[in-house]
Chains A and B, each alone.
Chain A
Amino acid sequence: SQQGEEDPQALSIQEGENATMNCSYKTSINNLQWYRQNSGRGLVHLILIRSNEREKHSGRLRVTLDTSKKSSSLLITASRAADTASYFCAKEYGNKLVFGAGTILRVKS
């Protein structure tokens, strides 16, 4: 599949809890990016992690990349209701950006 695997498909947590989303891919990538999309609106870029990086932080976001396992994870700490959205990983294959299936996150207040 062009999109690859992403899990879980949906995640429901309480405000203040942490949320972890995972993304896998099959062939070598240049970089990997994470995006957020609120209810059918535009894409918001969250983090880019390069293939030679293992971990990256941005505010409450932590992204890891394990090239040996061909997987990445996005951790959102101390979640807020405003974090409710769909989250997508996007893998760079050459110049092409291929999106994963996404995780729908719902944060309950």
Chain B
Amino acid sequence: SAVISQKPSRDICQRGTSLTIQCQVDSQVTMMFWYRQQPGQSLTLIATANQGSEATYESGFVIDKFPISRPNLTFSTLTVSNLSPEDSSIYLCSVVGGAYGYTFGSGTRLTVV
């Protein structure tokens, strides 16, 4: 099954700055997904990233705020731009693969001050 390395595991950022989160997969995968988990909430799908095409964003999420890159079949980045305290969340990447169909990264805990 796929193994995902997600970095950083946590960060504290100043408002107005950006944070880029990386996910590296140990095998080639067609689709990668990015989720946000706000404090005390469930996971919300931000976007689906396919290699070689623009990411597909879910309702309520826009590319200017959450630009995604997918340069190859093993790597993707999510940038959270123009940070505000409301962006403080855990961000997770996920891929289709593994015993149960999906594998998740360990998450990035972002705190915006």
Contact = CB atoms under 8 A, between A and B. Distances in A.
Interface of A: 2-3, 31, 33, 40, 42-43, 45, 48, 88, 90, 92, 95-102
Interface of B: 31, 33, 35, 41-45, 48, 58-59, 90, 92, 94, 96, 100-102, 104, 106-107, 109
Does more than half of chain A's interface fall in helix, strand or loop, or is it mixed? strand
Nearest to B60: A2
A97 B44 contact: no
B42 A96 contact: no
Contact of A95 (B31, B90, B106): B31
B30 to A, nearest CB: 8
Nearest to B104: A43
Contact of A96 (B45, B59, B92, B107): B45
A96 B100 CA distance: 13
B102 A42 contact: no
A2 B100 contact: no
Given A95-B96, A96-B33, A2 B101 contact: no
A79 B74 CA distance: 40
B42 A48 contact: no
Nearest to B31: A95
Contact of A99 (B44, B106, B107): B44
A33 B47 CA distance: 20
A99 B42 contact: yes
Contacts of A33: 100-102
Contact of B102 (A3, A97, A102): A97
B39 to A, nearest CB: 8
A3 B43 CA distance: 8
Contact of B90 (A40, A48, A97, A100): A40
